[in-house]
């Protein structure tokens, strides 16, 4: 399903409500929420709705989608820091309910195994909410990725390493990421992709109108039985 909204605000309202609905339907939901600029407003709205409706997230589990390798959770710009500030802290989510990649771990393979095991035990994920990179990535599943992989370490695309600088105050060496795999994302009960702004128009056109293939990992969402693609008018400009 594709929905096109007149404004980023309206798109964010809808995405926020999707998360709330998931938790209302299943107070023990397992959520996987992307970091990044696109869902920022949706998360603020989601937290405001949760507070307004006294919705408890006590039973909810959060699985990390991805993280920058070499960037610690306390660093502004890490995916963990972003979600911690916007969601975990405001909703008083307990540490035990958060399963996130540690980008500073000495053994990154063990991190992948830990998250794979967590998903096996607690999953499948009920709702995964992703943004899209201008190269078509989902999480850090970069173009060319093997869609059967579980959690894995990624050599970041040059585009991702470049664009990723926007999250940090100082220039960072971004060469690797650690990410859930497409197979884990696709096994989620629902996958919501959000995109806004003209800078996403070309890749959204490729995602929606090109072949479904690992050349544009986001295109796989078209095959998901509960896949939702939420766009503002600008991101949908080339459809
Ligand atoms: C972040 C993530 C990335 C972003 C994507 C879009 O956790 O998984 O795939 O969703 O790069 O980023 P923004 O929303 O900043 O344009």
Residue boundaries of the structural domains of the chain: 2-181
Catalytic residue among 66, 111, 126, 232: 66
At 126-141, the pLDDT tens digits run: 999 999 999 999 999 9
DSSP string, 39-80: THHHHHHHHHHHHHTT---TT-EEE--EEETT--TTSBTBHH
Q: Is 51 exposed, middle or buried (0-12, 13-18, 19+ CB in 10 A)?
A: exposed
> Which of helix, strand or coil describes residue 8?
helix
At 146-160, the pLDDT tens digits run: 999 999 999 999 999
- Residue recorded with tokens 């696109």: 38
Task: Tell me what pLDDT residue 159 has.
Answer: 96
The number of the ligand 1 atom at minimal distance from the alpha carbon of 34 is 7
Task: Tell me what pLDDT residue 227 has.
Answer: 98
Fold of 2-181: Rossmann fold (3.40.50)
Task: Tell me what pLDDT residue 90 has.
Answer: 98
* DSSP classification of residue 86: I
- Residue recorded with tokens 């096994």: 187
Please, what is the average pLDDT of the chain?
Answer: 98
Q: Is 214 exposed, middle or buried (0-12, 13-18, 19+ CB in 10 A)?
A: middle
The CB of 33 under 6 Å from ligand 1? The reply is no
139 Cα to the center of ligand 1, angstroms: 7
Mean pLDDT of 69-83: 97
Task: Tell me what pLDDT residue 77 has.
Answer: 97
Task: Print burial letters for 112-145: b (CB count within 10 Å at least 16), e (below 16).
Answer: beebbebbeeebebbbbbbbbbbbbbbbbbbbeb
Instruction: Check if 137 is active-site.
Output: yes
Mean pLDDT of 58-73: 98
At 161-195, the pLDDT tens digits run: 999 999 999 999 999 999 999 999 999 999 999 99
Q: Which amino acid residue places its CA nearest to atom 11 of ligand 1?
A: 133
The CB of 77 under 6 Å from ligand 1? The reply is no
Task: Tell me what pLDDT residue 229 has.
Answer: 98
Instruction: Check if the beta carbon of residue 191 is closer than 8 Å to that of residue 221.
Output: yes
Task: Tell me what pLDDT residue 217 has.
Answer: 98
37 Cα to the center of ligand 1, angstroms: 7
């Amino acid at each position: 399903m594709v929905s096109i909204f007149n404004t980023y605000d309206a798109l964010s309202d809808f995405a926020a409500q999707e998360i709330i609905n998931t938790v209302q339907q299943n107070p023990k939901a397992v959520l996987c929420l992307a970091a990044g600029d696109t869902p920022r407003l949706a998360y603020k709205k989601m937290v405001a709705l949760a507070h307004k409706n006294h919705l408890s997230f006590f039973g909810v589990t959060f699985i990390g989608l991805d993280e920058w390798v070499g960037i610690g959770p306390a660093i502004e710009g890490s995916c963990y820091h972003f979600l911690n500030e916007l969601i975990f802290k405001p909703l008083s989510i307990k540490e035990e309910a958060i399963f996130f990649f540690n980008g500073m771990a000495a053994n990154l393979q063990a991190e992948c195994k830990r998250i794979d095991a967590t998903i096996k035990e607690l999953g499948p994920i009920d709702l995964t909410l992703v943004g899209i990179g201008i190269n078509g990535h989902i999480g850090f599943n970069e173009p060319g990725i093997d869609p059967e992989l579980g959690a894995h370490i990624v050599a970041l695309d040059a585009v991702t390493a470049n664009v990723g600088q926007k999250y940090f105050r100082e220039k960072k060496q971004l060469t690797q990421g650690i990410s859930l795999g497409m197979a884990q994302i696709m096994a989620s009960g629902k996958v919501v992709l959000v995109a806004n702004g003209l800078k996403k128009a070309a890749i959204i056109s490729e995602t929606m109108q090109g072949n479904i293939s690992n050349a544009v990992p986001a295109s796989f969402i078209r095959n998901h039985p509960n896949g939702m693609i939420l766009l503002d008018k600008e991101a949908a400009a080339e459809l």
